[in-house]
Structure 1
Amino acid sequence: MAPQSPIQFIEAALWCTGPFELSYTDPDQKWHIRKDMLSLLQDFPNLSPSMDTYVHNDGSIANLLNAHGAIHVSSSSPEVPLTIWLHENYPYVAPIVIVGLPGVAPSPTIHLDHPFVDPSGLTVSPYIQTWEFPRCNLKDLVRNLVKIFSVDHPFSYSPTSSPFTHPSAVSKKEALDRLAGMLHYNTMALRSETDGEIEELLALQQEMDQRVAIVMTMVQGHERERCELRNRVARLTEEADVLINWIKVHDPKRAVAMGEDGIDDVFEGVDEVSKSRLQCLAADLSIEDTIYALDKAVDEGAVNFETYIRQVRILAREQFFHRAEVVKFETSHQFLYNLV
């Protein structure tokens, strides 16, 4: 038996009944499908009609007619395998276009950033998105795909960059396709740039968090130091009160005569060594108070840092000599005590 011609296959498939019956029920719909399929195969003889089971994204199953084969897009690029499934509500619903043959993965692999074809091969061009019957049909759809793939082939990364020199240079639909492709690649570039900026901002945020943690540690350290100084002042004040009360009890006449301002005069050295030791201790404490006052002046901006460093060095050198004298006095006293 001679093989069926495409028209015989299409007619037999559309009016078939039983387990192989297609999901097209309206007779007028079948005539539209027959007409569009024959017109498509006449212009693109490399495509062949077939029928098979199609599973939609929602899991529903339909027996649909399809046209599959390879279309030639340009002399410098490979042919594109294509499968066009006619939806069960065709021609009022756009056909489902897949780059690749039924049951065969597209080879070579579709590049990831194609504006109209996703990695699975599903093709959604502006022509499909704006499908409207009777303005749209299968033949014009494939012609539109040929123009799109000649500019941006699905198997090679070649973003569209054709300039629009004049509106008459290309058709309105072709201009829309190219514009959609350009917008897609511009969006991808902008997204990549935005992702880079986000990564930089995240790194900056992490660095700022680290700096905040360091500053908080410093603030907590200063707070502890302030509390320690406050406790020290309270302790020294308490000790001074105890000392004053002791003097008032044991030597009231002298305490009344000199008042609280002359409390330092209560302590007298019994000899020259004791007097020198008291003078060294007083000088040491006065230098300590001076350095503290310089610290406050630097914090308030009254003294610049260079002047502060220079004065502190001078005072620290002088304080060192006074403390050395005190240590010498204490060492001599301990030596004499051991002799006795």
Structure 2
Amino acid sequence: MAPQSPIQFIEAALWCTGPFELSYTDPDQKWLIRKDMVSLLQDFPNLSPSMDTYIHDDGTIANLLNAHGTVHISSSSPQVPLTIWLHENYPYVAPIVFVGLTGMAPSPTIHHDHPFVDPSGLTTSPYIRTWQFPRCNLKELVHNLVKIFSRDHPFSYSATSSPFTHSSVVSKEALDRLEGMLHYDTMALRSETDKEVEKLLALQQEMDQQVKIVTAIVQGLKRERWELRDRMARLAKEADVLINWLKVHDPKRAMAMGDDDIDDVFEGVDEESRLRLQCLAADLSIEDTIYALDKAVDEGAMNFEIYIRQVRNLAREQFFHRAMVVKFETSRQLL
């Protein structure tokens, strides 16, 4: 049996019944499909009709007619393989066009950031997006794709010129050129915007770090202020306790004595107790002096070298008094 011609295959596929029946149900629709397919194959003989199962993005399965093969672009660029699926509602719905053929080896790499072909090969040219029957048909669609790909080839290994710069293209082709130029300008602007955003993010991170540092300093100063307030309150409370004790035990003497004889209020029961009391008083007075020296250094009223020298001398004297107190306590425990 002689092989079927493309026209015979189309007619057999469109009017086939049974498990291989296509998803086109209207007889008038089938005649329109036959007419457009025949016209397409006359202008592009490298395309061949075929039928297969197509799965839509929503999961719907349909048996559709398609044309697959290669189209010639120019003598200086490779041919472009195409697969054109006729939607079940064709010609009122645009066909689904893919760059590339199933089972191609090696599979060509789609040009990065191509304005009309995504990485999967799906083609969305302005002609397809503005598809309207009867103004649009398969033959004019492929002619439009050839003009587009001659200015921006879909494969990355092709040697292409600057996209969409031919001055003789008008009407629909001028719209394609304009859209391509806008696409590349948008990509360039997006790249610059991304760089600017990265700089702003880096600046924001630096500012956040500075805010954390300043916040930590402020919190430290607040803690120090509260600690000083607590210490001042404790000292005031201790002073009140001392004044009240003096008033209770010897009110007349406490009122009459001056700064020179305030120490005579406290009397030891023996010589050892008196010496121990003097050592404790000297220890506390040295502690207060060291605290006063700390404040003087913080306020810049004293040189740090002088501060170290004074603290060292006071610490040595304080150690002597504390050792004497420990000695008195040890001797008392032995007795």
TM-score, scaled relative to structure 2: 0.76
Structure 2 CA distance for partners of 1:34 and 1:245, relative to 1, 3 Å: same
Asked whether the 8 Å contact 1:100–1:106 carries over to 2, the reply is no
* TM superposition shift of 1:253: 3.3
**Paired AA for residue 40 in structure 2:** L
Task: Find the residue that maps to 2:64 and give its secondary structure.
Answer: strand
* TM superposition shift of 1:138: 1.1
The equivalent of 1:130 in structure 2 is 130
**Paired AA for residue 38 in structure 1:** V
**Distance (Å, rounded) in 1 between the aligned partners of 2:324 and 2:62:** 111
The equivalent of 2:238 in structure 1 is 239
Asked whether the 8 Å contact 2:10–2:49 carries over to 1, the reply is yes
Structure 2 CA distance for partners of 1:284 and 1:56, relative to 1, 3 Å: closer
Task: Find the residue that maps to 1:229 and give its secondary structure.
Answer: helix
Moved more, 318-327 or 134-143: 318-327
**Paired AA for residue 50 in structure 2:** S
Moved more, 182-191 or 65-74: 182-191
- Residue deviations 1:133-166, cap 9 Å, x none? 111111111111112212222211789844768x
Moved more, 73-82 or 201-210: 201-210
Task: Find the residue that maps to 1:267 and give its secondary structure.
Answer: helix
Task: Find the residue that maps to 1:255 and give its secondary structure.
Answer: helix
Unaligned runs of at least 5 residues, structure 1: 269-274, 298-307
The equivalent of 1:54 in structure 2 is 54
Asked whether the 8 Å contact 1:66–1:84 carries over to 2, the reply is yes
**Paired AA for residue 237 in structure 1:** A
**Paired AA for residue 89 in structure 2:** N
The root-mean-square deviation of aligned C-alpha atoms, in Å, is: 4.1
The equivalent of 1:302 in structure 2 is none
**Paired AA for residue 177 in structure 1:** D
Structure 2 CA distance for partners of 1:136 and 1:249, relative to 1, 3 Å: same
Which residues of 2 match residues 147-186 of structure 1 at below 5 A?
Answer: 147-156=147-156, 161-162=162-163, 169-186=168-185
Which residues of 2 match residues 1-340 of structure 1 at below 5 A?
Answer: 1-104=1-104, 107-156=107-156, 161-162=162-163, 169-257=168-256, 262-263=258-259, 266-267=262-263, 285=288, 288-289=291-292, 292=295, 295=298, 308=300, 311=303, 313-314=305-306, 317-318=309-310, 320-321=312-313
**Paired AA for residue 68 in structure 1:** H
* TM superposition shift of 1:127: 0.8
Moved more, 51-60 or 116-125: 51-60
The equivalent of 1:300 in structure 2 is none
Asked whether the 8 Å contact 2:67–2:84 carries over to 1, the reply is yes
**Paired AA for residue 43 in structure 2:** D
**Paired AA for residue 29 in structure 2:** Q
Structure 2 CA distance for partners of 1:263 and 1:10, relative to 1, 3 Å: same
**Distance (Å, rounded) in 2 between the aligned partners of 1:213 and 1:159:** 53
Structure 2 CA distance for partners of 1:310 and 1:234, relative to 1, 3 Å: closer
Unaligned runs of at least 5 residues, structure 2: 265-277, 331-335
**Distance (Å, rounded) in 2 between the aligned partners of 1:282 and 1:71:** 103
Moved more, 57-66 or 135-144: 57-66
**Distance (Å, rounded) in 2 between the aligned partners of 1:238 and 1:224:** 21
Asked whether the 8 Å contact 1:280–1:323 carries over to 2, the reply is no
Task: Find the residue that maps to 1:62 and give its secondary structure.
Answer: strand
Structure 2 CA distance for partners of 1:31 and 1:235, relative to 1, 3 Å: same
Aligned-residue sequence identity (percent) comes to 70
Task: Find the residue that maps to 1:66 and give its secondary structure.
Answer: strand
Task: Find the residue that maps to 2:10 and give its secondary structure.
Answer: helix
**Distance (Å, rounded) in 2 between the aligned partners of 1:149 and 1:97:** 14
TM-score, scaled relative to structure 1: 0.75
* TM superposition shift of 1:128: 0.3
Asked whether the 8 Å contact 1:70–1:81 carries over to 2, the reply is yes
**Distance (Å, rounded) in 2 between the aligned partners of 1:7 and 1:104:** 25
- Residue deviations 1:304-332, cap 9 Å, x none? xxxx3875555555555555566678889
Moved more, 124-133 or 8-17: 8-17
- Residue deviations 1:167-199, cap 9 Å, x none? x63213222222322333333344444444445
Task: Find the residue that maps to 1:147 and give its secondary structure.
Answer: helix
Task: Find the residue that maps to 2:24 and give its secondary structure.
Answer: coil
Asked whether the 8 Å contact 1:14–1:30 carries over to 2, the reply is yes
* TM superposition shift of 1:10: 2.3
Task: Find the residue that maps to 1:169 and give its secondary structure.
Answer: coil
**Distance (Å, rounded) in 1 between the aligned partners of 2:84 and 2:161:** 24
